[in-house]
Chain A
Amino acid sequence: MGNEKVFDNVKIGDDILSMENITKIYGNGFVANKNVNFTVRKGEIHGLVGENGAGKTTLMKVLFGQEIPEEGRILLAGKEVNISSPLAALEYGIGMVHQHFMLVESLSVAENMVLGSEPVKGITFDYEEAVRRSTEVSKKFDLEVNPKAKIRDLSVGYKQRVEILKMLLHGAQILLLDEPTAVLTPQETKELFVQLKQLREKGFSIVFISHKLNEVKDICDRITVLRNGESVTTADVASVSEQDISRMMVGRDVLLNIEKEKANPGKTVLSVSNLSYKNKFGLYSFKDLSFDIRSGEILGVAGVEGNGQSELANVLAGLYEIEDGDIKVDGTSIKGMTVRQIREKGMAIIHEDRMTYGASATQSIAENIISDRFYKSEYKKKGFINWKDIVSKSKELIKDFSIKADGHDAEVRTLSGGNIQKVVAAREFTSSPKVLIACQPTRGIDVGAAELIRKKMIALRDKEDTATLLFSADLAELLNTSDEIIVMYGGKITAYFPDVSVINEEILGEYMLGLKTQSREEIGGVVHE
């Protein structure tokens, strides 16, 4: 590979890549990057931080050849390069690990690793050679994988290792990692950091995109902060605090830890008893779950993704049928009810998949806000939809939830992730919910939007006595926002902590990985009646 020489000529600590005055404007007129400057040195881990919609992902897509910028140039080892496609980026030694892995689940590790430059013997695929290459690169970088294992049998952390190795096998010298820790447990994150530091020692450059400021502080050498599509600053990590970084990201002081009063729970509102659910393969996603939530409290659910949380949320929302067991809202079973009936019982749902379920991308903000209530009498006038009223109510909500948009008639697809989630929240939080099911409500959104959503959730608890079930992969958020926490592992509740103040991420991590399980009596405490 010819460009390895180019990289060899650069000394460790010198600029290896610089992006100058990058401007990217999308087809809908949204300016994602404005004159962004960004440099990476050889042998550093460079944090790229900013709110959602600040342009981090766009900048990385430009670097990886997925988007072509309107202005600006990219220099690699001092020479201007034209990166027109991901293949070209790989040729130049730039590799990206996406947040959602680009792996073929049914193929083996080795087959995935060589995808794009498959070895052949005659006209057939040379599997042995693929395995050999995979083993070689795995040994070279001291990242252990079994080349013959099928991807679908691997854990999330393992898959990520495969992704990184795949890029290294293709000759990447600069690795772009888009929120690599979002899907990992604390233990897996630690392991990843060890691996990344090893790569840094070997002279690789790593761009680390993250929302988690403690991680950025922990692993990065330098950071670049983006705000509203512009590069605000580049600084040595040692010289800034987490509070400084968040201030630079948002442009004002942010409460990283939300202040809240102690919960004052009332009677049970949501009661789940012996609930089980089988997926389409006939396997139990979760089995025999029982728990209660009382009015005015937030029950957090911790767990590694894929341990039944997602199915549980969908059953509660009425999207999946109740097969076995029962769910009661205010003492009435919701078994067999339609989604509308369940919502009329006072259920509100923030779905984890906001682009598919939570919002309708090609409809306006106002149309998204009324989707659960348009048929009610207060939104109608003589049988017709009262658009005038809806527009004025939508404008109020846009202000109240500080949604950044062209107006109430802007299509949701034109908004940034954080603002889309605010639209979802503006609907779900204003239906006077008795029960709120919040699934990953702040995943992938910026600190400012996350702060707003958490505050609103606590306000619902305090002012409307809402009983909230909070699913979150962000343990800091869970510990900070919940009043009580349960842990789900293998489709079962394995721990119940009535007092959040006495636990930490490490303790949760042990239960999340299934290393520990509480006794029946302890877990039974979550059933209050």
Chain B
Amino acid sequence: MNKTHKVITTKQIETRFSIIRTLLAVAIALVFAFFLMATVSDNILKDFTTLLIGPLASSSRMTTVISKMIPLLFTGVAVALVYSAGQINIAAEGAFFAGAVAATVVALIEGIPAPIHIILTLLAGAITGAIVMGIPAIMHVKYNVVTIVSALMMNYVALYGGLYVILNPLRDPSAGFEASFSFQRSAILPTLFGNNRLHIGLLIGFAVVILSSILLYNRPFGYEIRTVGQNQKFANYSGISVNKTIVLTSLLSGAIAGMGGTVETLGNYSRFVYSGFTNHGWDGIMLAVLCRNNPKAIPFAALFLAYIKTSADALNLTSSIPPEIISVIQAIIIIFIAAERFLANWEHKKIVANSQRALAIEKGE
């Protein structure tokens, strides 16, 4: 048999193409970015280098990349889970925010010893997040409310409800800006490797990734989630309780997003400082789409996104390029990767050629 023309399965071709598609999307986006930057930059070569390898220039920036990645692990997994169940529940943003608020409330309580205090804040964040994402799910299964709309609205309930709590009973009038009272020391997350910008949220985040991946692919409940997500009618006919699966998955997703809000707040700040959406939930949607709802891929995508965000910050500091340009580049990359039909004709030709080779071999034998 001719080794250079080995016959492979269609699945292998599809995998190969999803990798090519991703790399090519990044490449095209970068070319695009180059020309876009050239129109506004004084020193395009220097600035483009910053875009490409800026985050690697110092250990401080590398720390920033990791630090930015942590909350994305939570929101990425949260959205991937709920999307796996076929629910376009986009309330992760609100769950993240509400989780941070609830954690703040608990973090202000005095006199709880450190490890217990941290666990309580995480619990508070998880429960609040679960409520935020759970409500649209319950409304959907009980009253057939369209999830995407109710979830979108839920984000605003979480945002303004949370801000009300922070800016009224919890506001510290002695702070020079709109912020809560300072957290108790016992609630602040311990740091990692003696670096005060890396906290144990990183470890919790990886644990969430691993556990949800096992849940989704190796536990009966995960099978139920995926089956409901692929075909609800089939799931129902097979004896899976569709409504229960949808509600439980949404609660779990919300809990993960809420924990994300908790670690982001208690790991990086000494008070609650947000005055609007943090965008982590929206980023989570993007990550889930890029990873096709597979939690295992979330760390890679989160690292990539954190990397571009750090590049953007670096460019912002060292050049005259407006940060909006970076957002444009980011968007282009996502659009190309998410475009399933991108390169589809080429892929189809490859598959056809492969099938024809398989036929020829079959005939030859």
- Chain A residues with CB under 8 Å of chain B are 25, 27-31, 34, 70, 317, 319, 338-340, 342-343, 349, 351, 356-363, 367, 370-372, 374-375, 380, 383-385, 387, 406, 414
Is the Cβ of B240 less than 8 Å from the Cβ of A385? no
- Complex CA–CA separation, A524 to B1 (angstroms): 69
- Complex CA–CA separation, A207 to B222 (angstroms): 48
Q: Is the interface of A mostly helix, strand, loop or mixed?
A: loop
Mask: chain B, 329-365; 1 = CB below 8 Å from A; 0 = not: 0000000000000001001100110111001000000
* A residues near B13, Cβ cutoff 8 Å: 29
State whether A357 and B10 are in contact (beta carbons under 8 Å apart), knowing that A25-B355, A338-B239 are contacts in the complex.
no
Q: Is the interface of B mostly helix, strand, loop or mixed?
A: helix
Is the Cβ of B236 less than 8 Å from the Cβ of A384? no
* B residues near A30, Cβ cutoff 8 Å: 355
Which stretch in B28-36, B52-60, B115-123, B224-232 binds the other chain?
A: B224-232
**Interface residue count for B (Cβ, 8 Å)?**
32
In the assembled complex, B235 has its CB within 8 A of some CB on chain A? yes
* B residues near A380, Cβ cutoff 8 Å: 220
In the assembled complex, B164 has its CB within 8 A of some CB on chain A? no
Is the Cβ of A363 less than 8 Å from the Cβ of B218? no
Min Cβ gap B256→A in Å is 20
Min Cβ gap B221→A in Å is 9
State whether A374 and B351 are in contact (beta carbons under 8 Å apart), knowing that A29-B10, A357-B237 are contacts in the complex.
no
* B residues near A384, Cβ cutoff 8 Å: 214, 218-219
Is the Cβ of B220 less than 8 Å from the Cβ of A357? no
Closest chain B residue to A347 by CB distance?
Answer: B239
Closest chain A residue to B241 by CB distance?
Answer: A338
Closest chain B residue to A363 by CB distance?
Answer: B230
Closest chain B residue to A28 by CB distance?
Answer: B10
7 interchain residue pairs of minimum CB distance:
A29-B10, A340-B239, A371-B238, A360-B231, A339-B239, A357-B237, A25-B352
**Which one of B214, B230, B241, B352 contacts A360 once the chains associate, using CB atoms below 8 Å?**
B230
- Sample (13) of A-B pairs whose CB atoms are under 8 Å apart: A29-B10, A31-B355, A339-B239, A349-B237, A356-B231, A357-B234, A360-B227, A360-B234, A362-B230, A372-B238, A385-B222, A385-B223, A387-B218
Is the Cβ of B237 less than 8 Å from the Cβ of A351? yes
- Chain B residues with CB under 8 Å of chain A are 9-11, 13, 214, 218-220, 222-223, 226-227, 230-231, 233-241, 344, 347-348, 351-352, 354-356, 359
* A residues near B347, Cβ cutoff 8 Å: 27
* B residues near A406, Cβ cutoff 8 Å: 9-11
Most chain A C-beta atoms within 10 Å of own C-beta, residue among B13, B239, B347, B359: B239
Is the Cβ of B355 less than 8 Å from the Cβ of A374? no
* A residues near B230, Cβ cutoff 8 Å: 360-363
Is the Cβ of A374 less than 8 Å from the Cβ of B235? no
**Which one of A319, A349, A358, A385 contacts B220 once the chains associate, using CB atoms below 8 Å?**
A385
Is the Cβ of B235 less than 8 Å from the Cβ of A363? no
- Complex CA–CA separation, A183 to B79 (angstroms): 45
- Complex CA–CA separation, A85 to B234 (angstroms): 33
* A residues near B234, Cβ cutoff 8 Å: 356-360, 371
- Complex CA–CA separation, A431 to B140 (angstroms): 33
Min Cβ gap B230→A in Å is 5
Min Cβ gap B99→A in Å is 28
- Complex CA–CA separation, A361 to B230 (angstroms): 8
- Complex CA–CA separation, A385 to B11 (angstroms): 24
**Which one of A25, A29, A31, A371 contacts B227 once the chains associate, using CB atoms below 8 Å?**
A371
**Which one of A25, A339, A383 contacts B238 once the chains associate, using CB atoms below 8 Å?**
A339
Min Cβ gap A349→B in Å is 7
Most chain B C-beta atoms within 10 Å of own C-beta, residue among A25, A30, A343: A25
- Complex CA–CA separation, A371 to B242 (angstroms): 13
Most chain A C-beta atoms within 10 Å of own C-beta, residue among B219, B240, B241: B240
Min Cβ gap B240→A in Å is 7
Min Cβ gap B356→A in Å is 7
